[in-house]
Amino acid sequence: MTEKRNTHGAGAGASAGNSNVAAITSAKKKEAEISTELESITPEHLLEEVKKNKTLIEQLLQAIKNNKHDTEKLINDALDRSLASHATDNALGPNPFIGFQGKDVGATAKTLVKHSLLHPRTTLQHLTRFIRDEVAVLKGRSDLAPAKGDRRFADPTWSENLLYQRGLQTYLTVCQNLESWITDVMDDPYDADRSRYLVSLLTDALAPSNWPTNPQALKRLLETGGGSAINGIRNLVGDIRHNSGMPSQVDRSKFEVGKNLATSPGMVVFKNEVLELIQYQPKTAQIHARPILIGPPPINRFYIFDLSPSKSLVNYAVNQGFSTFAISWRNPTKAHKHWGFDTYTGATLEAIDVVREISGSDDVNIMGTCVGSLLTAILLGHLAAKGDQRIHTATMMVAVFDTANESQLGMFMTPESVESAKKASQEKGVLDGQEMGKMFAWLRPNELVWSYWVNNYLLGNAPPVFDLLYWNSDTTRLPAQLHGEILDFVLANPLKSPGQLTVLGTPIDLGKVTCDTYMVAGLTDHITPWRGVYSNTHLFGGPSEFILSSSGHMQSIINPPGNPKAAYFRNAELPAKPDEWLAGAQKHADSWWGHWSEWLGKHSGDLVEAPQSLGSEKNPPRYPAPGHYVFES
């Protein structure tokens, strides 16, 4: 019996082996036939029809040259008629505070088509180049490969399989030629940036890695016996129902605020209509006499500073012996549409006075991030105008105060789009946080949309379990007044011109701010580019320290020690040009938190005995951290 089974197995193996050999031989034969056929293709064959029309093209070029004004008007009129009827008023977009309206798409598309028609010779040259590049791909003579670090095409099938390799190279050829074509036909860099962005949205969406034929997806399909497809469909339906059709970035079921997020022990010691003030329980026998007040951005929950204990900046500060307080903003509703710079500045001043009263310190150190940094800068300018020295130092992270610096946030910002966005939020009373979240995602669609499309739908995986992404999805609203003031701020660039912005009745001049400041930027931050953050150092009148983290926008903030991949750059000199600063900067391993702790320690006064209880007689503890406002939906 055993011998027969072995013989049968051997026979089956031999049969399978013969079948595999036959399949491989057939595939190689087919590949040889394809290669032979492709060898017969020449650029001349593909350009034959173009050459037949050479006379017509030359006539068109001459006509444009002789009567450029009329030609341009003709093109504009034709495009106005064709695009106006198709434009829509609402679409996803690259500016989280404005949105991306259909008329922006129409105007940019119109500009792109117009310039291509006004530069037919250039367009023809690029078409010719594309055909030649594609012939090289089809003949297997192209060396095009994805950029280093492009994880979309990490699977070896993309480079080892003939069909996949040439499909990928065709995609890269299209992207490369579109990029160079836009650069050559666009005269205005602003129009070129807008056009590149629109085209990149399309090319990113059409990447072959997003298709069901993704080799990873096909392998997973076979491994799971079709289970990955079922899970993917289930995930897709769930996101359509509960996430506005966007791929979920995080498994929200794994987190709960107060349970495994925002767990640092503390008490709410003050509350007004706008904020709650949390005082954290000291963990050292002695603490610095001068406290630090953490001010989060008003467009997200405060606990970005208090994620899981190992990533909590609050926990780190407490362990370093700092007397630590934090603001938790209320999630505004339509009833709070009038809240603006004055409201948030006034509420912060109230919180500062409570911190001073509880700690017994005449002044405080303050920390802000993103829009929270902008509020901090405005507060500093307000106090400087009054000669008020309640703030001793300020730490400000990932925020650009000179809005003339280039950023994706300003790409589609025009006076017309600003007014339209302000009108929309005034009608609703607030700017919805979930809409802002979607717009932020479309700033970096490959990382924030399509990677999750592949993971959730094509591979059928659950979204990642990541505390920072959970915080990012836990959105809040922005009151209409503050929304409008932020838009006006970006458009008018008032902090660059002393006195142009007025808050609580005082003109803001950052040059009059003489306290020490500590600035943090992210090397790969696409929301607030580091060179723009660097320019902040030259707006203030006091000493500044600038730190460049090796991470992006949020990861630059949440950067606990011990990460072997973390690094930061420091240069004590602050030359006018950021690239000169970087050229002279020294790279340091690990997180910037350690350097900040040392810097802050020098500005936090003597060590004193830690209090046995929180709050004070005037401001007694009310209820435990993380408070109530953080749970308001």
Residues with catalytic annotation?
370
CA-wise closest residue to 432 among 193, 96, 153: 96
For residue 36, how many other CB atoms are within 10 A of its CB? Answer: 9
Peptide bond into 626 cis (omega under 30): yes
What ranges make up the beta strands (E) of 478-525?
Answer: 478-479, 502-503, 506-507, 516-522
Contact assessment for residue 566 and residue 596, using Cβ atoms and an 8 Å cutoff? no
Please tell me the distance from the alpha carbon of residue 368 to that of residue 389, in angstroms, as a whole number: 18
Residues 6+ apart with CB under 8 A from 502: 508
What letter represents residue 266's amino acid?
G
Q: Would you call 446 exposed, middle or buried from its count of C-beta atoms within 10 A (0-12, 13-18, 19+)?
A: middle
CA-wise closest residue to 324 among 610, 92, 40: 610
Phi first, then psi: what are they for 393, rounded to 5°? -140, 160
**What is the gyration radius of the CA atoms in the chain, in angstroms?**
29
Q: Which helix (H) or strand (E) holds 232?
A: helix 227-242
CA-wise closest residue to 472 among 444, 500, 498: 444
With tokens 């025009």, the residue in question is: 414
CA-wise closest residue to 304 among 559, 96, 530: 559
CA-wise closest residue to 290 among 366, 346, 351: 366
Angle between helices 162-185 and 120-138 (to 10 degrees): 170
DSSP letter for each residue of 576-602: SSHHHHHHT-EEEES-THHHHHHHHHH
The C-alpha angle 280, 600, 560, rounded to 5 degrees, equals 70
Q: How far is CA 433 from CA 300, 301, 463, 472, 487, in A?
A: 8, 11, 21, 10, 16
DSSP code of residue 363: -
DSSP letter for each residue of 310-348: GG-HHHHHHHTT--EEEEEE----GGGTT--HHHHHHHH
Let me know how long the chain is. 633
